[in-house]
Amino acid sequence: MYEILTKIQLAHKETLFEVHAPEVAAKARPGQFLIVIPRAGGERVPLTICDYDVERGTVSFAFHEVGKTTKELGTFEKGDCLYNVTGPLGNPSEIRNYGRVLCVGGSIMIAPLLLQSKAMKAAGNHVTTILGCRSKDFLFMADKAKACSDEVHVASDDGTVGEKGLDFLNELLKKERYDRCVVMGPVVMMKYVSEMTRPFGIPTVVTLTPIMIDGMGMCGVCRVTVGGKMLFGCVDGPEFDGHNTNFDELIKRQRTMLPEERLSSILWETSGGCDCERQ
């Protein structure tokens, strides 16, 4: 069983778990993800690795409560055990000395982005990290960002903390040279940032989050189109070239199951957290 050793409430509906999973920790690399099943018979959710410690045999991930299974995960406490944690899955990020690297994170994906910032810094890069959030109440890990970056900027949608919106990024791109950009966050944000870096010719890597089932290349649910080619998010990614990604198709495919997901979430909430779909 996968015991939760640490539970940190990052924001209202954003939580980080550090879980005992030595086999996963031994092989984990930045950019890879896990498939977590909270309870026996439960749904599989893909979540990105945001830290690992080989000696302690732990792996960490952070999640935003958006639907039934992530809400259910939020009810787990320190000392509880998760039914299954499979991983590491997907390809690790390409961490090299590129020179000046811009790491842009939005919402819950700030947590795994900082693992990339840390690895890029350790590889000798000058790292600028941008933390994007909805408002000041949704900002977390700013101190960790400072510790693993040369420069940190904060932006919020409503301007309650840092810059208002991400438009300031354009000024930054005009002022400074960057050799690589890594973006992790909501799909619309990754699309927006990729469009900003395109005229500057900065290679831009995005983490795509299509709906997944097995996470191992078997079901085909996670199809994405990159450079006109159909690829699998799980085994070909999850990182892809942001300048060649068909984001609009990804957004459409992510919404395919929306009515069922909403119903499942409502049923779960109105039953007081009981898995009535299985009964």
- Residues making contact with ligand FAD (CB under 6 A): 33, 43, 45-48, 61-64, 66-70, 108, 112, 209-212, 233, 238, 254-255, 261, 264-265
Beta carbon of residue 46, minimum distance to ligand FAD (angstroms, whole number): 4
Written as six digits, the tokens of 170 are 């354009």
Q: Which does 63 bind (CB under 5 to 8 A by kind): ligand FES, ligand FAD, none?
A: ligand FAD
Stretch that binds ligand FES, among 64-72, 111-119, 207-215, 248-256 (CB under 6 A): 207-215
Q: Which does 221 bind (CB under 5 to 8 A by kind): ligand FAD, ligand FES, none?
A: ligand FES
Q: Which is nearer to ligand FAD, 30 or 46 (CB)?
A: 46
Stretch that binds ligand FES, among 50-58, 105-113, 227-235, 251-259 (CB under 6 A): 227-235
Written as six digits, the tokens of 131 are 């933390």
Q: Please name which of 53, 23, 51, 48 lies closest in space to residue 36, comparing C-alpha atoms.
A: 48
Beta carbon of residue 44, minimum distance to ligand FES (angstroms, whole number): 9
Give yes or no for residue 219 binding ligand FES (CB under 6 A). Answer: yes
Give yes or no for residue 218 binding ligand FES (CB under 6 A). Answer: yes
Q: What angle do CA 14, 15, 19 make, to 5 degrees?
A: 155
Give yes or no for residue 3 binding ligand FES (CB under 6 A). Answer: no
Stretch that binds ligand FES, among 68-76, 106-114, 231-239, 254-262 (CB under 6 A): 231-239
Give yes or no for residue 220 binding ligand FES (CB under 6 A). Answer: yes
Beta carbon of residue 26, minimum distance to ligand FAD (angstroms, whole number): 20
Query: What is the chain's length?
Result: 279
Q: Which is nearer to ligand FES, 123 or 218 (CB)?
A: 218
Out of 8, 11, 221, 267, point to the residue binding ligand FES (CB under 6 A).
221
Amino acid at 259: P
Out of 22, 159, 217, 273, point to the residue binding ligand FES (CB under 6 A).
217
Written as six digits, the tokens of 25 are 């920790």
Which chain residues interact with ligand FES by CB under 6 A? Answer: 212-215, 217-222, 232-234
